[in-house]
Amino acid sequence: MKTAMARPLSAIGSVVLIIGALLPWATFVLNDGPYPDKATLEFFDAPFGLSSFRLYLEILGLAGIVFTFVPVRDKIRVLKSIGWGAAGISVVNLLFIAGDGGGLGAITAADGVPAFGSIVAVVGSAVLLFGAYQLPPEPLTVIDSKLPWWAEWLILLAAFVALLFLITETLTAGGHSGVSDPYIGPLFLSYLSAVGALLGVLHAFGVTEWISDMSERHRVFSIVVLVLCAVAVPFTSVGNDYWMTITANIGVYAATAIGLNIVVGLAGLLDLGYVAFMGIGAFVAANLSGAVAAEFHIQLPFIVAAIASGIVAGVFGAVVGSPTLRVRGDYLAIVTLAFGEIFVRVSQNNIGGLTGGSNAIPNIPDLSLFGAQFNDAPTIGGLQLPGGVLYYFLIVLLVALVMFVFGNLKNSRIGRAWIAIREDEDVARAMGVKTGKLKILAFMTGATLAGLAGAVFAHKLATASYDSFQFNQSVTLLAAVILGGMGTIPGAVLGAALLFVLPEELRQFKDYRLLFFGLALVVIMRFRPQGLIADRHRRAELADEDTTGESLDDTAIKEPVAVAAKEAGA
Amino acid sequence: MATLLQQIVNGLIFGGLIAMVALGYTMVYGIIQLINFAHGEIFMTGAFGGLAVYTWLLPAEAQKIWYVALPAMMVGGAIVSLVVALLMERLAYRPLRNAPRLAPLITALGVSVFLQELTRIVYPGANSAVPFPNVFSAAPVHIGSITIPSSGLLMLVVSVVLSVVLQTYVNRSRMGRAMRATAQDPDTSRLMGINPDRVIVLTFGIGAVLAGIGGVLYGTYINNVDPYIGFQNGLFAFAAAVLGGIGSIRGAVIGAFVIGLIKNIADIYLPGGTAYDYVWIFILLIAVLVFRPQGLFGEVERVRA
Amino acid sequence: MSETTAAPQAPVSTQTRPLLEVRGLSVAYGAIEAIRDITFSVQAGQIVSLIGSNGAGKTTTLRTISGLLRPKAGEILFEGRPIHTQPAHAILGMGVAHCPEGRRLFPRMTVEENLLLGAYTRSDDGVAEDMERVYELFPVLGERRQNKAGLFSGGEQQMLAIGRAMMSRPRLLMLDEPSMGLSPIMTQRIFDTIRNLRDLGTTVLLVEQNALAALAQSDYGYVVDLGRTTLEGSGHELLADQRVRDAYLGES
| DSSP conformation letters of A146-209 | ---HHHHHHHHHHHHHHHHHHHHHHHHTT-GGG---TTHHHHHHHHHHHHHHHHHHHHHTTHHH
Check if B55 contacts C (Cβ < 8 Å): no
Res A307: pLDDT: 94
Q: What is the mean pLDDT of chain A?
A: 80
Residues of A in contact with C58 (CB under 8 A): 567
Residues of B in contact with C104 (CB under 8 A): 185, 187-188, 191
Per-residue burial over B57-71, b = 16 or more CB atoms within 10 Å of its CB, e = otherwise: ebeeeebeebeebbe
Res A570: pLDDT: 33
Q: Per-residue pLDDT for A526 more than 70?
A: yes
Q: Per-residue pLDDT for C247 more than 60?
A: yes
Question: Per residue in A111-162, pLDDT tens?
Answer: 677 778 888 999 999 999 998 888 887 777 777 777 888 888 888 888 888 8
Tell me which residue of C104, B155, C22 sits closest to A559, measured CA to CA: C104
Tell me which residue of B39, B22, B33, B21 sits closest to B88, measured CA to CA: B39
**A437: Cα separation from own chain's centroid:** 31
Domain map (residue ranges) of chain C: 18-88+207-252
CA contacts within 13 A on the Cβ side of A196: 20
| Confidence band of B305 (pLDDT split at 50, 70, 90) | very low
Chain B neighbors (3+ CB pairs < 8 Å): A, C
Q: Give CA–CA dist A563/C29, Å, rounded.
A: 9
Per the CB < 8 A criterion, the answer to whether B42 and B257 are in contact is: no
Question: Among all residues of chain C, which has the CA nearest to that of B190?
Answer: C89
Residue B77: inside a domain: yes
Check if A146 contacts B (Cβ < 8 Å): no
Residue B141: inside a domain: no
Q: Per-residue pLDDT for A420 more than 70?
A: yes
Q: Give CA–CA dist B208/B197, Å, rounded.
A: 16
Least CB–CB distance from B276: residue in A328, A338, A349: A349
Distances (CA, A) of A174 to A30, A32, A55, B187: 17, 17, 16, 54
Q: How far is C23 from chain B (nearest CA, A)?
A: 22
Q: Give CA–CA dist C35/C20, Å, rounded.
A: 18
Question: Per residue in B114-144, pLDDT tens?
Answer: 999 999 999 999 999 999 998 887 788 888 8
Tell me, what amino acid is at A139? P
Q: Give CA–CA dist A54/B167, Å, rounded.
A: 63
CB under 8 A, 24+ apart: contacts of A372-378: A374/A459, A377/A241
Tell me, what amino acid is at A133? Y
The helix-helix angle for A149-172 and A241-261 (nearest 10°) equals 120
Res A371: pLDDT: 66
Residue B148: inside a domain: no
Question: Per residue in C145-188, pLDDT tens?
Answer: 899 998 888 889 999 999 999 999 999 999 999 988 888 888 88
Check if B101 contacts A (Cβ < 8 Å): yes
Query: Going by C-beta distance under 8 Å and a sequence separation of 6 or more, which residues neighbour residue B2?
Result: B144, B145, B146
Arithmetic mean of pLDDT, B30-57: 94
How many residues are there in chain A? Answer: 570
Q: How far is C69 from chain A (nearest CA, A)?
A: 6
From the candidates B179, B191, B297, B302, which should be mutated to test the interface with C, based on the most C CB atoms within 10 A?
B191
Res A1: pLDDT: 44
Res A507: pLDDT: 66
Res B216: pLDDT: 96
Least CB–CB distance from A564: residue in C34, C70, C87: C34
Residue B139: inside a domain: no
Arithmetic mean of pLDDT, C45-74: 90
Q: Give the predicted TM-score (pTM) of the model.
A: 0.83
Question: Per residue in A65-115, pLDDT tens?
Answer: 998 888 888 888 889 999 999 999 999 888 888 877 667 777 777 767 777
From the candidates B34, B41, B286, which should be mutated to test the interface with A, based on the most A CB atoms within 10 A?
B286
Residue B149: inside a domain: no
- 155-214 in C: which are within 8 Å (CB) of A? none
Residues of chain A with CATH 1.20.1440: 2-141
ipTM of predicted complex: 0.89
Tell me, what amino acid is at A496? A
- 41-60 in C: which are within 8 Å (CB) of A? 54-60
H, E, C per residue of A230-256: HHHHHHCCCCCHHHHHHHHHHHHHHHH
Chain C neighbors (3+ CB pairs < 8 Å): A, B
How many residues are there in chain B? Answer: 305
Percent of chain C with pLDDT over 70: 92
Question: Per residue in B201-227, pLDDT tens?
Answer: 999 999 999 999 999 999 999 999 999
Residues of A in contact with C30 (CB under 8 A): 544-545, 548, 560-561
Residue B187: inside a domain: yes
Res A523: pLDDT: 87
Res A29: pLDDT: 63
Q: Per-residue pLDDT for A280 more than 60?
A: yes
Better-predicted residue by pLDDT, A537 or C98: C98
Domain count, chain B: 1
Backbone φ and ψ of A371, nearest 5°? 85, -5
Q: How far is C221 from chain A (nearest CA, A)?
A: 20
Least confident window among A58-62, A277-281, A422-426, C20-24: A422-426
Least CB–CB distance from A556: residue in C31, C58, C69: C69
Q: Which residues pair with C221 in a beta bridge?
A: C49, C233
Per-residue burial over A313-329, b = 16 or more CB atoms within 10 Å of its CB, e = otherwise: bbebbbebbbbbeebbb
Query: Going by C-beta distance under 8 Å and a sequence separation of 6 or more, which residues neighbour residue C178?
Result: C99, C158, C161, C162, C190, C191, C194, C206, C208
Question: Per residue in B64-76, pLDDT tens?
Answer: 888 899 999 999 9
**Which run of H or of E encompasses C144?**
none
- 509-568 in A: which are within 8 Å (CB) of C? 544-545, 547-548, 551-556, 559-561, 563-564, 566-568
Least CB–CB distance from A515: residue in B114, B187, B289: B114
Q: Give CA–CA dist C81/C62, Å, rounded.
A: 17
Least CB–CB distance from B279: residue in A346, A482, A556: A346
State whether C28 and A553 contact (CB < 8 Å). Answer: no
State whether B113 and A517 contact (CB < 8 Å). Answer: yes
Kindly report the CATH number assigned to the domain that includes residue B287: 1.10.3470
Tell me which residue of A58, A38, A34 sits closest to A48, measured CA to CA: A58
CATH number for region A239-534 = 1.10.3470
Res C249: pLDDT: 64
Percent of chain A with pLDDT over 90: 17
Q: How far is A432 from chain C (nearest CA, A)?
A: 27
Q: Give CA–CA dist A233/A552, Å, rounded.
A: 50
Q: Per-residue pLDDT for B181 more than 70?
A: yes
Percent of chain C with pLDDT over 90: 50
Q: Give CA–CA dist A452/A405, Å, rounded.
A: 13
Q: How far is C230 from chain B (nearest CA, A)?
A: 29
Q: Give CA–CA dist C62/C42, Å, rounded.
A: 13
Residues of A in contact with C68 (CB under 8 A): 555-556, 559
Residues of C in contact with B178 (CB under 8 A): 117, 120
Question: Per residue in C47-56, pLDDT tens?
Answer: 999 988 877 8
Q: Phi-psi category of A268—alpha, beta or left, where left has phi over 0 and alpha has psi -120 to 50? A: left
| CATH topology assigned to domain A2-141 | de novo design (two linked rop proteins) (1.20.1440)
| Confidence band of A330 (pLDDT split at 50, 70, 90) | confident
Q: What is the mean pLDDT of chain C?
A: 87
Query: Going by C-beta distance under 8 Å and a sequence separation of 6 or more, which residues neighbour residue B94?
Result: B197, B200
Backbone φ and ψ of B54, nearest 5°? -65, -45
Arithmetic mean of pLDDT, A207-231: 82
Q: Give CA–CA dist A262/A400, Å, rounded.
A: 15
Q: Give CA–CA dist C69/C60, Å, rounded.
A: 8
Q: Per-residue pLDDT for A499 more than 60?
A: yes
| CATH topology assigned to domain C18-88+207-252 | Rossmann fold (3.40.50)
Q: Give CA–CA dist C194/C203, Å, rounded.
A: 10
Q: How far is B18 from chain A (nearest CA, A)?
A: 17
Q: How far is B99 from chain C (nearest CA, A)?
A: 14
Q: Which domain holds residue B83?
A: 2-125+154-302
Percent of chain A with pLDDT over 70: 84
Question: Number of B:C CB contacts under 8 A?
Answer: 64
Question: Per residue in C84-123, pLDDT tens?
Answer: 999 999 999 899 999 998 889 999 899 999 999 999 998 8
From the candidates C69, C72, C207, which should be mutated to test the interface with A, based on the most A CB atoms within 10 A?
C69
Q: How far is B92 from chain A (nearest CA, A)?
A: 6
Res C96: pLDDT: 94
Least CB–CB distance from B190: residue in C89, C97, C113: C89
Q: Which residues pair with C26 in a beta bridge?
A: C73
State whether C57 and A556 contact (CB < 8 Å). Answer: no
Q: Phi-psi category of C20—alpha, beta or left, where left has phi over 0 and alpha has psi -120 to 50? A: beta
Residue B11: inside a domain: yes
Check if C100 contacts B (Cβ < 8 Å): yes
Check if B31 contacts A (Cβ < 8 Å): no
Residues of B in contact with A519 (CB under 8 A): 110, 114
| Confidence band of A51 (pLDDT split at 50, 70, 90) | low
- 473-492 in A: which are within 8 Å (CB) of B? 475, 478-479, 482
Check if B187 contacts C (Cβ < 8 Å): yes
Q: Give CA–CA dist C7/C39, Å, rounded.
A: 8
Residues of B in contact with A326 (CB under 8 A): 290-291, 293, 305
Res A549: pLDDT: 32
Distances (CA, A) of A30 to A42, A49, A100, A106, A175: 10, 17, 8, 11, 18
Q: Which residues pair with C224 in a beta bridge?
A: C229
State whether B117 and A518 contact (CB < 8 Å). Answer: yes
Arithmetic mean of pLDDT, C126-136: 91
Q: Give CA–CA dist A536/A213, Å, rounded.
A: 11
Least confident window among B85-94, B252-261, B283-292: B283-292
Least CB–CB distance from A561: residue in C29, C68, C72: C29
Helix then strand then coil, in percent of chain B rounded to 5, is 75, 5, 20
Res A352: pLDDT: 80
Backbone φ and ψ of A458, nearest 5°? -60, -45
| Confidence band of A502 (pLDDT split at 50, 70, 90) | confident
**Which run of H or of E encompasses A227?**
helix A219-232
Arithmetic mean of pLDDT, C123-129: 88
Better-predicted residue by pLDDT, A342 or A74: A342
Arithmetic mean of pLDDT, A373-391: 74
Q: Give CA–CA dist B285/B293, Å, rounded.
A: 10
Tell me which residue of A95, A89, A91 sits closest to A189, measured CA to CA: A89
From the candidates A270, A331, A523, A525, which should be mutated to test the interface with B, based on the most B CB atoms within 10 A?
A525
